């Protein structure tokens, strides 16, 4: 068994597949800025990174327009986004395996915390977690490293070697590395093997069950 006592999970692309909700809301936010994006793969690039960062990097928005796009996204997501998520097959079973083994489980997502909590509640996943943490709505906590710091402080500030981050994008790996924390990359989400390997993921999971197998040494 690995020495991890605390397992932090990203949400989008790790616990649930958010593609329908996020791409719909990104398309809406871009439309509000006068940008018509119909390329689905381009829209999917927005799954994972903080939204403002994605709007800046992929659509060349300045800070003011990027944050207006975030507000337009959130306005629609608050109405439709929770329902347009699908937990990955086998995810709840994986979470329960880890919880039954005595692990402290948390969500650490760049999605605003109220949305993350609503999604966990909607799909019966809240019972699996000791803490669900996310970005703040006032935009003071949006980067993955800041979210991880907040979540760790909320569960007793465990030592870095006791913590494993689980996520599907380089932002998860890099955010964990800022605190000397290992990150397991999942290949069923929206990051590629190349992206996760280059970022320094300690292990790559093909499916949710592989996460528990890795942690529990099965």
pLDDT along the chain (218 residues), means of 10: 94 96 96 96 91 95 96 94 94 98 98 95 97 91 94 98 98 97 98 97 98 95
Domain end, chosen from 80, 100, 119, is at: 80
pLDDT of residue 179: 98
pLDDT of residue 214: 98
- Shared domain for 158 and 51, answered yes or no, is no
- Shared domain for 76 and 113, answered yes or no, is no
Closest CA to 73 of 147, 18, 15, 129: 18
Give catalytic status of residue 17 as yes or no. no
Number of domains in the chain: 2
Helix (H) or strand (E) holding 171: helix 170-177
* Domain-embedded: residue 210: yes
Per annotation, catalytic residue among 10, 12, 168, 210: 10
Distances in whole angstroms, Cα of residue 205 to Cα of each of 39, 64, 94, 134, 182:
28, 38, 12, 23, 14
Global pTM reads 0.91
> Which pair of tokens denotes residue 112?
């605003």
* Domain-embedded: residue 1: no
Q: Give the domain CATH number at 196.
A: 3.40.50.1000
Distances in whole angstroms, Cα of residue 165 to Cα of each of 147, 211, 218:
12, 11, 19
Tokens 């991880």, residue located:
148
Q: Give the domain CATH number at 66.
A: 1.10.150.240
As beta bridge partners, residue 104 has 6
* Domain-embedded: residue 12: yes
- Shared domain for 136 and 179, answered yes or no, is yes
Rounded CA gap, 188 and 87, in Å?
Answer: 12
Rounded CA gap, 70 and 80, in Å?
Answer: 15
- Shared domain for 55 and 98, answered yes or no, is no
Residue range(s) defining the domain that contains residue 204: 6-17+86-216
Closest CA to 14 of 196, 217, 198, 200: 196
């Amino acid at each position: 068994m690995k020495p991890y006592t605390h397992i932090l999970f990203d949400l989008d692309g790790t616990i649930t597949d958010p593609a329908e909700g996020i791409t719909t809301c990104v398309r809406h936010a871009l439309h509000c800025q006068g940008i018509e994006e119909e390329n689905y793969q381009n829209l999917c690039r927005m799954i994972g990174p903080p939204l403002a960062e994605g709007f800046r990097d992929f659509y060349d928005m300045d800070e003011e327009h990027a944050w207006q796009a975030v507000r337009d996204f959130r306005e629609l997501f608050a109405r439709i986004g929770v329902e347009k998520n699908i937990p990955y097959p086998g995810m709840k079973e994986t979470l329960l395996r880890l919880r039954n083994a005595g692990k402290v489980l948390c969500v650490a997502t760049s999605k605003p915390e109220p949305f993350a909590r609503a999604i966990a509640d909607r799909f019966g996943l809240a019972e699996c977690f000791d803490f669900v943490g996310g970005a703040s709505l006032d935009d003071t906590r949006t980067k993955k490293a800041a979210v991880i710091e907040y979540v760790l402080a909320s569960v007793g500030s465990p030592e870095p070697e006791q913590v494993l981050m689980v996520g599907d994008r380089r932002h998860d790996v890099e955010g964990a590395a800022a605190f000397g924390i290992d990150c397991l990359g999942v290949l069923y989400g929206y990051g590629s093997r190349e992206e996760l390997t280059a970022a320094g993921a300690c292990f790559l999971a093909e499916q949710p069950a592989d996460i528990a197998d890795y942690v529990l040494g099965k």
